[in-house]
A and B are shown apart, each in its own frame.
Chain A
């Protein structure tokens, strides 16, 4: 039982990272209707920016905050300059564009920061020790990641739920024409959606680097697959669904690794197929995910 709980907590930590990236995907999908395949590479890119900042003598958490700001502005600019031309066009245009961004950003990360091994973060953002809670060893890093994810989630929820800006963001996603007629600069809101997503993705990138050093330009590729699985399970439209999906996938993968004593799955090899199979099954059986709504259009 103790081991079970321990593995659940560890799974929640990696699940938090999937949840954050899935949340970024959902925010962009809801606001601009674009499935952003470049979300993982954007996260990697911003993580390398954080590394550069730390390399220039800024402390880890200072670099963390600065990176989020850079991601926010960068995501905004990316939407305004690169993504805007494909909005309202056939979906395939957006798909090709974000796959292009995926390749471009991946190439840029490899080119600027070379594919050499870096130790990042330089010092651990969270203590490496663990708490003993009723016999269950809870790693402080796992708990830290989980708590930061929950805090971010709460802040986002409050932004969308209680502020005028959040209401305008939601309105722009739901009905862009009516939003413009009440005076909302919808273009800015779409850009801001990308900015928020980039910032949330940056946190996922920073924590991926923290949880599994060293820093590697390709580190977000598997995470992106899990995040997609999480977002699809949640229904692509639902932020809560994406977060729960991410946590469940994190926990389940971890439990499989622990308790698979019969088949001896080489988990590092089958993790990705499991995630992909999950995406396939959800799309076949319940395309709207567990939390999505059927798109009903009146004709």
Chain B
């Protein structure tokens, strides 16, 4: 199967610090892939490198097209929706305005997409006029994902969706993600601290350590791996 997203020898730096030291990974069409790793391993930077939010060298290919160093707005146009860490919603705008912005690149079909997305998050429509910053943390995360979906992406980049959320909310979010993947064939690259959940929800996973891929493989296998268990699963 040809990969939808392919990273090869990707390096990125913040000033003198080389945050990525040659990362290679791939996401297939309709595949859910998890990226694990401790703080500072380069998980977030990997997503930022794909989106063009950080100076990058190496090779990033999406759907056969080279997008290394492309500006974020171009990457979005190519069909990648990036839901950043800390959600990155427009707090001052309403729920509905956030969703309209998600559909910014689409010329038509807003109401169709709106209905499709609200099908996954039924509360969104009821609270369309509410200011996004006044939503609870879990709702903000769901809104951020919903906004990403409004662009009809082929690939969703998801950065720490569980950050600071109650376990029940996190499970709900991952259930919806599984749904989206199954029903709509959405490919997802998710960065997650909660290794257990991430491994359970993905088909393949990568473990990053100090800017490099230390381990990779099918998620069930990684879940059995001795060092993954010790370092990330804690048993």
Contact = CB atoms under 8 A, between A and B. Distances in A.
The 8 tightest CB contacts between A and B, nearest first, are A183-B76, A180-B72, A183-B105, A178-B88, A181-B82, A182-B104, A183-B73, A182-B101
B104 A177 contact: no
B84 A167 contact: no
18 contacts: A167-B101, A171-B101, A174-B91, A175-B90, A175-B91, A177-B72, A177-B88, A180-B53, A180-B71, A180-B76, A181-B72, A181-B84, A182-B147, A183-B73, A183-B76, A183-B105, A184-B101, A185-B73
Interface of A: 164, 167-168, 170-171, 174-175, 177-186
Contacts of A164: 100, 104
Contacts of B51: 181
B101 A168 contact: yes
B77 interface: yes
A186 B88 CA distance: 15
B93 A182 contact: no
B108 to A, nearest CB: 12
B92 A174 contact: yes
A56 B119 CA distance: 62
A182 B53 contact: no
B34 to A, nearest CB: 21
Most buried by A among B81, B92, B102: B92
B89 interface: yes
Contacts of A180: 53, 71-73, 76
Interface of B: 51, 53, 71-73, 76-77, 81-82, 84, 88-93, 97, 100-102, 104-105, 147, 151
A174 to B, nearest CB: 5
Contacts of B89: 175, 178
Contacts of B151: 182-183
A241 to B, nearest CB: 16
A240 B81 CA distance: 35
B93 A184 contact: no
B90 A174 contact: yes
Given A174-B90, A174-B92, A177-B53, A182 B105 contact: yes
Most buried by B among A168, A170, A171, A181: A181
Given A180-B71, A180-B76, A181-B72, A174 B93 contact: yes
Nearest to A184: B104
A183 B72 CA distance: 7
A277 B106 CA distance: 50
A178 B102 contact: no
B90 A171 contact: yes
A183 B93 contact: no
B73 A186 contact: yes
Contacts of A175: 88-91
Contacts of A185: 73
B159 to A, nearest CB: 11
Nearest to A293: B92
B76 A178 contact: no
Given A177-B88, A182-B76, A185-B73, 4 more contacts: A170-B93, A179-B101, A180-B73, A183-B77
Contacts of B93: 167, 170-171, 174
A174 B94 CA distance: 13
Contacts of B76: 180-183
A164 B72 CA distance: 19
A182 B90 CA distance: 11
Nearest to B150: A182
A179 B92 CA distance: 13
B140 to A, nearest CB: 12
A8 to B, nearest CB: 35
A49 to B, nearest CB: 33
Contacts of A171: 90, 93, 101
A48 to B, nearest CB: 37
Contacts of A178: 84, 88-90
A182 B71 contact: no
A110 B196 CA distance: 71
A171 B51 CA distance: 19
A164 B96 CA distance: 13
Given A177-B53, A177-B84, A183 B92 contact: no
A181 B88 contact: yes
A178 to B, nearest CB: 4
